[in-house]
Copies of this chain bind each other. A is one copy, B any other.
Amino acid sequence: MKTAILLLHCPDKPGLIAELTNFVTVNNGNIVYLDQYVDHTEGIFFMRMEWDLGKFLIPTDKIEDYFTTLYAQKHNMEFRLYFSDKKPRMAIFVSKMSHCLYDMLARYTAGEWDVDIPLIISNHPDLKPAADRFGIPYHIFPITKDNKAELEPQEMKLLKDNDIDFIVLARYMQIISPEMIAAYPNKIINIHHSFLPAFVGAKPYHAAYARGVKLIGATSHYVTQDLDAGPIIEQDVTRITHKDTIQDLINKGKDLEKIVLSAAVQKHIERKILSFKNKTVIFN
């Protein structure tokens, strides 16, 4: 079954759902998923709709055009249209820690994710053996603060040559430049090893230990130009006690990090995330 997936938001008004579901049904589309939500504070209508294209009367390559003309302009909508037979292409960035990488590659290899992963990028050679185990090309860009301006354009060319749709920072320990962030808006997913906004920046487990918290957390979010301040996708926490050392926190945190990051990546692959004003709407 080939489906179309429509994600949109616009100013709320009466009759939107009726009008939009009507668009699909009168054109012989069969709606297989529909969820909508109105933010009454902001007055914004959000919707995700997916329909079977089997008997849909509008040709696939015309849907975007028709929808823009008939609805998007009229209702001042922002929308994205995807097709289920077009797999998103994902790049993974890593440094030296392998837990998030292995977790994603295991899901990918088991066929759990409808995605292509044509390449892995790192600033270190350490995880090349992990990439090799799964037969995925591993590219090393030894980026530092000093050579970032020189090397990042090469990275971006590689990403472009590989038609990369989105990037996952799997404990990648370099800051992404504003240029690269601008090229991938709401398309770079990071995992931060704290329950944001607590412990922004470097060494959050050390900070958590020093503060004496009883819970540690992890947060996946889209990368924006403000460090660790982009739209949050998923968070979770786990309980610790006074007995846990910093090393215990680091170890316990790994499970959190990989589960929280993979959950965010999965939602992104399934096109179930809408970003609006530095927050996310997550459909389920």
From A34-42, A66-74, A79-87, give the one contacting chain B. Answer: A34-42
Q: Check A17 against B30 for contact (C-beta < 8 Å).
A: no
Question: In the complex, what distance in Å separates the CA atom of A199 from the CA atom of B198?
Answer: 8
Interface string of A152-187 (1 = CB under 8 A from B): 000000000000000000000000000000000000
- Contact partner of A134 (CB less than 8 A), chosen from B40, B133, B211, B232, is B133
> Nearest B residue to A14 by beta-carbon distance?
B25
Give chain A's interface secondary structure class: mixed
Interface string of A114-155 (1 = CB under 8 A from B): 000000000000000010011000000000000000000000
Q: Check A242 against B18 for contact (C-beta < 8 Å).
A: no
Q: Check A41 against B103 for contact (C-beta < 8 Å).
A: no
Question: In the complex, what distance in Å separates the CA atom of A254 from the CA atom of B262?
Answer: 12
> Nearest B residue to A281 by beta-carbon distance?
B242
Listed from nearest, the 10 A-B pairs whose CB atoms lie closest are A212-B279, A102-B106, A198-B198, A18-B18, A133-B133, A214-B235, A14-B25, A242-B281, A18-B21, A215-B235
Minimum CB–CB distance for A108 against chain B, Å: 10
**Is A60 an interface position by the 8 A CB rule?**
no
Q: Check B99 against A106 for contact (C-beta < 8 Å).
A: yes
Interface string of A254-284 (1 = CB under 8 A from B): 1100010010000000000000001111101
Interface residues of A, Cβ cutoff 8 Å to B = 14-15, 17-19, 21-22, 25, 30-32, 34, 36-41, 98-99, 102-103, 105-107, 109-110, 112, 130, 133-134, 195-199, 211-215, 217, 231-237, 239, 241-243, 245, 251, 254-255, 259, 262, 278-282, 284
Question: In the complex, what distance in Å separates the CA atom of A196 from the CA atom of B198?
Answer: 7
Q: What are 11 residue pairs bridging A and B, where the CB atoms are less than 8 Å apart in the complex?
A: A15-B25, A17-B21, A18-B18, A18-B19, A37-B242, A99-B106, A102-B109, A195-B237, A196-B198, A212-B280, A242-B282
- Point out the residues of chain B lying under 8 angstroms from A106, CB to CB: 98-99, 102-103, 106
- Point out the residues of chain B lying under 8 angstroms from A234, CB to CB: 214
Q: Check A212 against B232 for contact (C-beta < 8 Å).
A: yes
Question: In the complex, what distance in Å separates the CA atom of A31 from the CA atom of B34?
Answer: 17
Q: Check A197 against B199 for contact (C-beta < 8 Å).
A: yes
- Point out the residues of chain B lying under 8 angstroms from A233, CB to CB: 214
- Point out the residues of chain B lying under 8 angstroms from A40, CB to CB: 32, 245
Question: In the complex, what distance in Å separates the CA atom of A278 from the CA atom of B209?
Answer: 11
Question: In the complex, what distance in Å separates the CA atom of A134 from the CA atom of B133?
Answer: 7
- Point out the residues of chain B lying under 8 angstroms from A262, CB to CB: 255
